[in-house]
């Protein structure tokens, strides 16, 4: 079993509450398709934690850490995907801004599979998460135990806390439907999400 679970629980909760690319992705898709869209996206992101945990435990993260070319290749793919999602948000913002009408807008029909796929791809293409897991998880693992099992347990705790918080965000966005259905408000939310995602993508691309 993992060690110091109380400390891990506290630390990972703080990490989940800090706004970042994952939160912006959830908000963006919640604006697009409501609670179901945001929840499915969050589930995909959460599933990515298990992949990162397994990869880190199997030592591939160490390869990424020592192979600059491989690391940068994955990093640029992740950055490009994040920037592309940001551009999509800005396109939606422009579309809503030009509509100019404050009419009631229904959330778009969403595909749970598509939203889940967007979430998991969004997460696994970020090598920073893999490096973070490689550096963070070993502090709470028993070296004499089953490392893969411990990593999955820790990832499960992380995923559970993350989903609770992200689903709450998706639920808030859904409840605020009357407000975000206004074209100008929707446009501003998409603009903020788009700029934030593009900024995060650029920051990832240029970071060492």
146-182 per-position pLDDT tens digit: 888 888 899 999 999 999 999 999 998 888 776 666 6
Per-residue pLDDT tens over the stretch 2-16: 667 788 888 888 878
Three-class DSSP category at 165? helix
Can you tell me the distance from the alpha carbon of 46 to that of 159, in angstroms, rounded to the nearest whole number?
5
pTM of the model: 0.73
The pLDDT, as a whole number, for residue 160 is 95
Q: What is the DSSP string of 106-158?
A: PPPP--HHHHHHHHHHHHHT-HHHHHHHHHHGGGGS-TTS-HHHHHHHHHHHH
The pLDDT, as a whole number, for residue 102 is 47
Structure tokens at 201: 């993508």
Can you tell me the distance from the alpha carbon of 181 to that of 60, in angstroms, rounded to the nearest whole number?
44
Higher confidence at residue 1 or residue 156? 156
Higher confidence at residue 49 or residue 103? 49
Please work out, in degrees rounded to the nearest 5, the angle formed at the alpha carbon of residue 111 by the alpha carbons of 106 and 182: 20
| Owner of token pair 């690391």 | 71
| For residues 112-117, average pLDDT | 91
Statement: residue 48 has pLDDT above 80: yes
| For residues 177-193, average pLDDT | 73
């Amino acid at each position: 079993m993992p060690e110091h679970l109380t400390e891990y629980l506290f630390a990972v909760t703080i990490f989940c509450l800090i706004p970042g690319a994952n939160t912006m992705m959830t908000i963006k898709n919640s604006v697009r398709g409501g609670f179901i869209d945001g929840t499915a996206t969050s589930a995909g992101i959460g599933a990515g934690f298990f992949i990162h945990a397994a990869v880190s435990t199997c030592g591939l993260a160490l390869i990424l850490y020592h192979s600059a070319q491989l690391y940068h290749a994955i990093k640029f793919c992740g950055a490009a995907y994040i920037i592309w999602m940001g551009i999509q948000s800005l396109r939606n913002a422009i579309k809503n801004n030009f509509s100019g009408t404050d009419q009631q807008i229904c959330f778009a029909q969403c595909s749970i599979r598509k939203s889940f796929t967007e979430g998991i791809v969004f997460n696994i293409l970020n090598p920073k998460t893999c490096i973070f897991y490689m550096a963070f998880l070993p502090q709470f693992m028993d070296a004499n135990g089953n490392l893969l099992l411990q990593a999955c347990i820790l990832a499960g705790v992380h995923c559970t806390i993350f989903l609770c918080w992200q689903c709450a965000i998706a639920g808030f966005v859904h409840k605020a439907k009357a407000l975000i259905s206004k074209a100008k408000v929707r446009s501003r939310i998409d603009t903020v999400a788009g700029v934030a995602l593009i900024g995060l993508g650029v920051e990832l691309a240029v970071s060492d």
